[in-house]
Structure 1
Amino acid sequence: MEDIRQYLDSTYLKTAPQAGLTEDENRNVVRAVVNEAIQEGFKLVMVRPDMVAMACSMITEAGSAVEVGTVIDFPNGDGGLEVKLAEARRAIQDGADDLDFVIDYKAFIAGEKERVEAEVMQCTSLALAHGRVAKWIIEIAALTPEQIKAVCSLIKSVVMTFADVEDYRSIFIKSSTGFYVTEGGLPNGATPEGIKLMLECAAPLPVKAAGGVRNYKEAADMIKLGVKRIGTSSAKAIVDGFTAEPGY
């Protein structure tokens, strides 16, 4: 098996209530995920905003090259521009390398194009100004194939109006939060079909596949399609050749 650790964003984004844990127990889970990322040499560990400072401190203390990412306006993306900017500034201050913004996909579906364009421009500009990576989560399970293509095209069009070509590698389009509730047990994360649409319309911006990648073959197949990052809560199982249980 090819070593794919540098494609993996090892992810844990549950709150204590979602995990059925106390705050201290949930913090200990995050510590374990960060330590695992350090030991395995994953590209990045993705945690909730309130865990960023702790994760950065642990990684610095370990002398590790693992990066830290967090989510912004998560998981619904409808908090508004000022909420996104405030959360992003705090994450930057706490040391986050990657900022994964949830796009206001509801506004996009409703045809509020200018609102979405303003978020993409201002939040991406903030990230780039501080040397951070910006990723835009479009929540493909909430979108039709045509909407997936259209929102990718929107993000790309906005980015290309102000970013330099060398910045493109730091501006991703990402498939999913992993928290969207679908009907009838349909996938709520990355699917080969959805990722192909994203790759088709996002280029030259890179794509991150997130949600539902649970074993090495699925991860390797996504990489073959052309994704540059994979967000997964199953990173250790993937590199060890196992299949993780369904569910976040």
Structure 2
Amino acid sequence: MNIKQYLDSTYLKTAEQAGLSEVENKKVVQQFIQEAMDEQFKLIMIRPEMVPSAKEMIVESKSKVHIGTVIDFPLGQSSLEEKLKEANQAILDGADDLDFVCNYEAFKDGNLALVKEELLECTKLGLEHHKIVKWIIEVAALNHQQIVQLSALIKNIVMSNFKEEFYSSVFVKSSTGFYKTINNEPNGATIPTIIMMLENACPLPIKAAGGVRTYEEAVQMIKLGVKRIGTSSAKAIANGGVSNKEY
């Protein structure tokens, strides 16, 4: 199976996180962008400040690779106004996919009004600009019941407010890949969590991010019904290797 069109090749480290200078880190991002174009992956997923240079590279190369970026990353606890401002800028800069971090802590605290409003308004903004919207729910921060409930909530908001033709443009995504778990427990996509998401977010598509480390695992996710896979080791996985990255 050629899995390249399922892969969102991902590099989301800041220079500080990577232990690099800003110039060095930008070069790493450019290498990821070039690799995504060379390998014909579905998308390159990068931080918002990197979107303009990615757009320039992709346009110059006449590549079909899409550009994705993260909004309110990695905690998701900014105000709705801040989320919308960041997303608007990403749209202006040329992003195709907007991966919002849902305010999962507000959800856990029972502040459903806040969560519902951001789900509605941010999704509306993305769809009005013909973008793909993904909601990162950070499964490692949730128990099984919460994964089920939040996946269903996103589905219900979308189905109640948007036409059926838009359902395929709003994903539920497992993880940021940056959440720190106790005892190094899995912080990303696992088979049980993905099955819960698939069952409770349907008909919305699912993106498995974090934890997919081999070609075989990627194929297994695709056969379950996942439509996108986020990984910082896209080339290795696509070519049958094993990821040695954290996400």
TM-score per shorter chain, which class?
Answer: over 0.9
2:144 corresponds to 1:130: no
Offset of residue 196 of structure 1: 0.3
Deviations 1:174-196 (A, max 9, x none): 00000000001100000000000
Deviation at 1:246, TM superposition (A): 4.6
**Identity over aligned residues, as a percent?**
58
Offset, 1:247: 1.9
The aligned residue for residue 16 of structure 1 is 15
**What is the alpha-carbon distance in structure 1 between the residues aligned to residue 197 and residue 243 of structure 2?**
25
> Does 2:31 correspond to 1:32?
yes
**Counterpart Cα distance in 2 of 1:87 and 1:79:** 10
Q: Summarize the alignment of residues 85-104 of structure 1 with structure 2, pairs less than 5 Å apart.
A: 85-104=84-103
Match of 2:61 in 1: 62
Letter in 2 for 1:94: D
Q: Does 1:205 align with 2:204?
A: yes
Distance in structure 1 (CA, Å) of the matches to 2:184 and 2:125: 37
TM-score, with structure 1 as normaliser: 0.99
SS at match of 2:241: coil
Q: Unmatched 5+ residue regions in structure 1?
A: none
Alpha-carbon distance in 2 for matches of 1:234, 1:213: 9
**Conserved? CA contact 1:121–1:158, under 8 Å:** yes
Deviation, 1:105, is: 0.2
AA in 2 matched with 1:213:
V
Q: Is the 8 A contact 2:232 2:245 kept in 1?
A: no
Partner of 1:163: 162
Deviation at 1:161, TM superposition (A): 1.4
Cα displacement string for residues 56-100 of structure 1 (whole angstroms, at most 9, x for unaligned residues) = 110110000000000000000001101110000000000000000
TM-score, length-normalised on structure 2?
Answer: 0.99
Q: Which runs of 4+ in 1 moved over 4 A?
A: none
Q: Which residue of 2 aligns with 1:71?
A: 70
Shift in alpha-carbon separation, 1:95–1:246, aligned structure 2, 3 A: closer
Shift of 1:13: 0.1
- Tell me, in whole angstroms, the C-alpha distance in 2 between the residues paired with 1:138 and 1:157: 15
Deviation at 1:160, TM superposition (A): 1.0
The answer as to whether partners of 2:11 and 2:29 remain within 8 angstroms in 1 is yes
Q: 1:10·1:42 contact (CA, 8 Å) conserved in 2?
A: yes
Asked if structure 2 preserves the Cα contact closer than 8 Å seen for 1:213 and 1:234, the reply is no
Report the Cα distance in structure 1 between the residues aligned to 2:129 and 2:103, rounded to whole angstroms.
23
Show the 5 A alignment for 1:140-155: 140-155=139-154
Residue 189 of structure 2 aligns to a residue whose secondary structure is: coil
C-alpha distance in structure 1 between counterparts of 2:128 and 2:170, whole Å: 12
Counterpart contact for 1:215–1:234, Cα < 8 Å: no
Paired with 1:197 and 1:174, the residues of 2 have a C-alpha distance of 12
- Does residue 47 of the first structure (1) align with residue 42 of the second (2)? no
Tell me the SS of whatever aligns to 1:184: helix
Q: What runs of 5+ residues in structure 2 fail to find an aligned partner?
A: none
CA contact (8 A) 1:100 1:135 kept: yes
Secondary structure of 2:44's aligned partner: strand
* Cα distance between partner residues in 2 of 1:195 and 1:26: 32
Residue 172 of structure 1 aligns to a residue in which SS?
strand
User: Do the aligned residues in 2 keep the contact of 1:9 with 1:232 (CA within 8 Å)?
Assistant: yes
Residue 114 of structure 1 aligns with which residue? 113
Q: Distance in 2 between matches of 1:168 and 1:129?
A: 13
CA distance in 2, matches of 1:27, 1:201: 38
